Amino acid sequence: MKCSKAPGKVLLFGEHFVVKGKPALGVAVSPYVKTCVELGKGRVYSKQLGLLEPSSPHRALFDAVIQAVVERYGATPSLDVDVDSELPIASGMGSSAAIAVSLTHAVLSLMNIDFNREDVRLIAHEAEKAVHYKPSGVDTTLSTYGGFLYYKQGDFKRLDLRLPVDTLLVIVNTRQKRQTGVVVREVLERYSRIGEVAELIYSAGELIVSKAIKALELGNANQLGELMLVNHGLLWSMGASSIICDTVVHDLLSSGAYGAKISGAGRGGVVIGLIPRSTVESLRVWLQRKGYEFYIVEPDYTGVVSA
């Protein structure tokens, strides 16, 4: 048996805009997916979802990974797969990418194939394309390599960045499920309908990414938070937000956050907030009283590893 684990991710800036060639900035974070594989009869079992039958929609990603490995390296033996995910499903934290990356890494390790991280990323991305609508590749790259990542038009650049001193990244899971592919498609449909207006919105999104990198380099939490709010507004204008997401953003601001925004596809999933470390406990009480699932993440600078 071989096991691998891969981190989740949050997009700090630029989601949706990447599909039209604009940059995004993301970071790999500590909740992980652990996947184990061994010779077997093709069984796929999720600790969270139970046995995944071939007809299950949750099974498609696993089958796509195996197919991508077969296309690259030839036939594989029949395998049993066990997955344990700490990441909420369909929330914007890259759970499917972390599954694809950890499964790819574990399968290649079991088969004693000479591979590197880029091989893992490419296979996982092919699998994601089989089940999602035009994935940018940001999620699989962050899960594979870890750290902060700048992405633009297929160009991935790891950045030596840290969050500002005495700040924490807070994740609020709205528990509102949505289909990533549907949201991405409908945002693109609005882009087509409003034309030049959308181009200006996307250009503003590009400028925000460059200013956010500078704010991170300078450790300027106030500016970083303000840029998060502006980015959230741009995503709202393209139809990527929802009432629950906007409510969480306002709740975080009223509790002392520097800024907050949706992260990922939007219309549910997770909202991220940048808060002073000193406000953690009061914020925890506030959000729990409102019934939100709330937790703090640590950046992961390693990416996928054997477990």
- The CATH number covering residue 242 comes to 3.30.70.890
Q: Which residue in 139, 155, 166, 251 is the catalytic one? A: 139
Same domain, 171 and 148: no
Q: Three-class SS of residue 210?
A: helix
Kindly state whether residue 250 falls inside one of the protein's structural domains.
yes
Query: What is the 8-class DSSP label of residue 88?
Result: P
**CATH, residue 89:** 3.30.230.10
Name 256's Cβ contacts closer than 8 Å, sequence gap at least 6.
275, 276, 279, 282, 283
Sign of the dihedral defined by the CA atoms of residues 302, 268, 154, 75, in that order: positive
Percent of the chain with pLDDT over 90: 74
Please name which of 6, 34, 201 lies closest in space to residue 101, comparing C-alpha atoms: 6
Amino acid, res. 189? E
Query: At residue 136, does pLDDT exceed 80?
Result: no
Q: Do residues 101 and 128 share a domain?
A: yes
- Cβ atoms of residues 65 and 42 within 8 Å: no
Pairing of strands 44-46, 79-85: parallel
Q: How far apart are CA 240 and CA 255, in angstroms?
A: 24
Q: What average pLDDT does range 165-194 have in this prediction?
A: 91
Helix (H) or strand (E) holding 227, with range, is: helix 221-237
**pLDDT for the residue 92:** 74
Q: Give the distance from CA 177 to its chain's centroid.
A: 15
The chain-wide mean pLDDT, for the chain, equals: 93
133 pLDDT more than 70: no
Side-chain-side CA neighbours of 25 within 13 Å: the count stands at 24
39 and 105 co-located in one domain:
yes
In a domain, 261, yes or no: yes
pLDDT digit string, tens, across residues 15-38 = 999 889 999 999 999 889 999 999
Q: Return the SS3 of 4.
A: strand
* Residue 305 belongs to some domain of the structure: no
The predicted pLDDT at position 167 comes to 92
End-to-end alpha carbon distance in the chain: 11
How many whole angstroms separate alpha carbon 221 and alpha carbon 137?
Answer: 28
Q: Last residue of some domain: 121, 139, 160? A: 160
3-state secondary structure of 5: strand
- Note whether 126 and 223 are same-domain residues: no
Q: What mean pLDDT do residues 103-122 have?
A: 96
- Judge whether residue 176 has pLDDT over 90: no
The pLDDT assigned to 178 comes to 81
Q: Which of 300, 270, 283, 282 has the alpha carbon at shortest distance from 15?
A: 270
pLDDT computed for residue 130 by the predictor: 82
The angle formed by the CA atoms of residues 48, 49 and 55, to the nearest 5 degrees, is 155
Of 160, 193, 208, the last residue of a domain is: 160
Residues 181 and 154 occupy one common structural domain: no
Tell me: do 11 and 131 sit in the same domain: yes
Domain boundary (132, 160, 188) is at 160
Does residue 9 sit in the same domain as residue 155? Answer: yes
139 assigned to active site: yes
pTM: 0.86
Is the separation of the CB atoms in 270 and 281 below 8 Å?
no
**Taking the C-alpha atoms of 236, 238, 239 and 245 in order, what is their torsion angle to the nearest 10 degrees?**
-20
- Its domain, for residue 120, covers 2-160
Residue 185 and residue 286 in one domain? yes
Q: What would the two tokens of residue 161 be?
A: 């960045």
Mean pLDDT of the region 170-184:
87
Q: 95 with 57, same domain?
A: yes
Q: Is the domain of 226 the same as that of 130? A: no
Whether 307 is covered by a domain: the verdict is no
Tell me which of 53-57, 106-110, 193-197 is least confident: 53-57
